[in-house]
Chains A and B, each alone.
Chain A
């Protein structure tokens, strides 16, 4: 187990390090000088040089890379060019919108997908199964921003149940905040729910075809008991993996949905930062999102090995 863990830890660290190099290099090749872009074309060379020095752009790229990485390790993410505040502070503020949004979406998609997937698998081949599978195909095909626009039209414009966009802030109370996040969460959850239903169904169908299920049935255990007590437990492993990955991608998926609903979250922050050439913000937010995916992958690998001893033997 220790060998397996060590191997995974090395691979995790290498992947994380490579990700920092990729992100840094990508932003290094951005055409144009950020200082010149901020000051405009009429600025004097002295002013641009002074700003370059202030922004740390006069330091060689390699030194800047190490300064960025070591800064991140100590919690210093640099300062935003546009907002002139520490990036960590910006991320902290925006996470209070994006994190609840991603969490509500994940909860919604799980609440819908698990029962739907279980229902389809337990009635495999029936009309209900076909209907559910057809609906999930549709769910996967619907772009979430289009679904969002339709939701706004129905629930905000026509019925006036919820606001069409914006976020009042949590200091105005829990309910106004949650109300503002309802439609974005539903829009974000739809394709994820469709994917998760399909994964749940196929994992359960596979589990139901295993020998131990046949044995349990032969011993006289009822279909329902076999499904809940044996098949579902084994089927949950791939389902939980997908859920883990979905969380990271839901966080990233906010980039479009937050733009549809004008939510001041992480997605909108990174989009605005990209268009404003605010490199420290782009670099750190993208790194945060990528690191989340890598960390979740690592944790899932470890969890797998803890649950399934066959895996760590094979890998070691």
Chain B
């Protein structure tokens, strides 16, 4: 963390101080545990699932939760616990890449707008306003429907809407830094805008981007679930939480467990990421720290 010019900190925080503060943050702790549970399930699914998710055993259809099938089975006799494990990796992959797209394009755009100001800034921000005006669900449905349903197009559809979010956050944070003394000092020393952006601006806004990344990640999980629910996300035979809920809807009268568990998986992931985001913001934003 670089020191702000003109402000003298009460004391320089050591790594141990930071770690002890992180451990005390309840939101961060609970959030990390929830996300870790889902992440472990997703990673484990690459080498092991209790049952094969592509195997249909009609004789075992609609079985309630038991010691054999912890979360019961669906209308094709597939094990719901195994499907949730594999679904986790699809959801996480889609949301993660979508956030990556948003950051990779949005952050350079936002920092460029902040460095150049003037007409470049105006044009970029106007485009941002336009993309922001598109209700994300409708546009994501439109994009996936135009280019065909599937995991890749779902990533693109969700990723596009992350671009203006990161551009706006990066621009706002970068703008406030450009008027600071340490940036002026860098300018006086002859560094150009691109170098200042890479060496000083981006490292200083990285915390903020990380927090925003966590929030967008959780929104990405919800968006992927929504698209899959409508049949536009991950395609069969690979399970996805959203499509599991779609299939559960018609069976809810006979097999409510089919609807309960995939939904809980979504809630746990989104809740975990939101809590992590809150915890990280409190931990990384020195302004909030002083206020507490």
Contact = CB atoms under 8 A, between A and B. Distances in A.
Interface of A: 11, 14-15, 18-19, 22, 26-27, 29-31, 137-138, 140-143, 145-146, 149-150, 152-153, 157, 248-249, 251-253, 255-256, 259-260, 270-271, 274-275, 282, 286, 289-290, 293-294, 297
B280 interface: no
A140 B270 CA distance: 8
Nearest to B125: A11
B259 A153 contact: yes
B245 A149 contact: yes
Nearest to A14: B126
Contacts of B262: 146
B50 interface: no
Contacts of B263: 142-143, 146, 149-150
A277 to B, nearest CB: 9
A101 B123 CA distance: 36
A30 B229 CA distance: 23
B55 interface: no
Contacts of A15: 126, 129-130, 133
B230 interface: yes
B259 A293 contact: no
Contacts of B82: none
10 contacts: A15-B126, A15-B130, A138-B271, A143-B229, A143-B245, A149-B248, A249-B135, A256-B230, A274-B142, A286-B134
Interface of B: 126-127, 129-135, 137-139, 141-143, 145-147, 218, 222, 225-226, 229-230, 245, 248-249, 252-253, 256, 259-260, 262-263, 266-267, 270-271, 274-275, 278
What is the interface of chain B mostly: helix, strand, loop, or mixed? helix
B256 A282 contact: no
Given A141-B271, A146-B245, A153-B253, A256 B137 contact: yes
B274 A137 contact: yes
A11 B126 contact: yes
A29 B271 contact: no
Given A256-B230, A259-B229, 6 more contacts: A145-B226, A150-B259, A152-B249, A153-B252, A253-B135, A270-B138
Nearest to B254: A157
Contacts of A256: 137, 226, 229-230
Contacts of B139: 286
Nearest to A256: B226
A271 B246 CA distance: 15
A143 B252 contact: no
Closest 3 CB pairs of A and B: A252-B135, A146-B263, A141-B270
A174 B26 CA distance: 48
Contacts of A149: 245, 248-249, 252, 259, 263
A29 B146 contact: yes
A249 B229 CA distance: 19
B274 to A, nearest CB: 6
A289 B140 CA distance: 14
A249 B219 CA distance: 15
A253 B230 contact: no
B249 A260 contact: yes
Nearest to B145: A274
The residue in A141, A145, A157, A270 that gathers the most chain B C-beta atoms within 10 A of its C-beta is A141
A15 B123 CA distance: 11
B226 A143 contact: yes
B271 A271 contact: no
Nearest to A253: B137
Contact of A252 (B126, B137, B266): B137
Contacts of B146: 26-27, 29-31, 274
B135 A290 contact: yes
A56 to B, nearest CB: 20
Contacts of B252: 149, 152-153, 157
Contacts of B274: 137, 140-141
Contacts of B218: 141
A15 B126 CA distance: 7
Contacts of A150: 259-260, 263
A121 B274 CA distance: 20
